[in-house]
């Protein structure tokens, strides 16, 4: 599992908050925290049988909205992920992985709609609540609960 985000940029820390909420509750599943740099994400995907990725997005939905995308079945919509605080967006990184045949057979992205990405801003209450929900959904999905 890859939890993406910059803990110093408000709601961009959504993925990191999910990692924190999960703790060690997934047993042998490795939880990796990344800031979202594309080459590091590509390296993490290569050779994996399955990947679950959590990141903040900006699509115009309500702050704290949660969306789940099965990337194994199709592309991640570039809207909401292209304007990443990480530079090269998650959608582009995943499509590059697909074109390099480095995409895991199972790849799921959970996106949490953010609102504030200013340096030094705290995580918004809506995104914090959504992160707890995503952690519960991931636990159920991965462990079959």
Whole-model pTM? Answer: 0.90
**% of the chain beyond a pLDDT of 90:** 56
Alpha helices in the chain (DSSP H): 14-22, 38-45, 90-99, 125-143
Which segment of 29-33, 48-52, 84-88, 112-116 scores lowest on mean pLDDT?
A: 84-88
From residue 30, alpha-carbon distances to 2, 3, 35, 48 in Å are: 8, 11, 16, 11
With 60 as the cut, is the pLDDT of residue 85 above it?
no
Which of 105, 1, 104, 106 has its CA nearest to residue 52? 1
With 60 as the cut, is the pLDDT of residue 126 above it?
yes
Look at residue 8 in the predicted model and tell me its pLDDT: 94
| Mean of per-residue pLDDT scores for the chain | 88
Tokens of 44: 């993490």
CA distance 24 to 34: 17
With 90 as the cut, is the pLDDT of residue 84 above it?
no
Look at residue 83 in the predicted model and tell me its pLDDT: 45
Look at residue 21 in the predicted model and tell me its pLDDT: 94
Topology given in CATH for the domain delimited by 2-143: Rossmann fold (3.40.50)
């Amino acid at each position: 599992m890859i939890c993406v985000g910059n803990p110093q940029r408000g709601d961009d820390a959504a993925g990191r908050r999910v990692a924190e909420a999960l703790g060690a509750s997934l047993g042998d599943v490795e939880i990796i925290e990344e800031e979202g740099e594309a080459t590091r994400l590509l390296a993490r995907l290569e050779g994996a049988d399955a990947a679950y990725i959590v990141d903040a997005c900006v699509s115009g939905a309500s702050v704290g909205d949660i969306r789940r995308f099965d990337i194994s079945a199709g592309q991640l919509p570039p809207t909401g992920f292209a304007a990443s605080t990480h530079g090269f967006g998650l959608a582009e990184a995943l499509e590059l992985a697909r074109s390099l045949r480095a995409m895991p057979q199972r790849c799921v992205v959970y996106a949490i709609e953010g609102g504030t990405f200013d340096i030094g801003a705290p995580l918004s209450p809506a995104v914090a609540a959504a992160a707890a929900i995503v952690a519960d959904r991931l636990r159920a999905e991965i462990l079959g609960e």
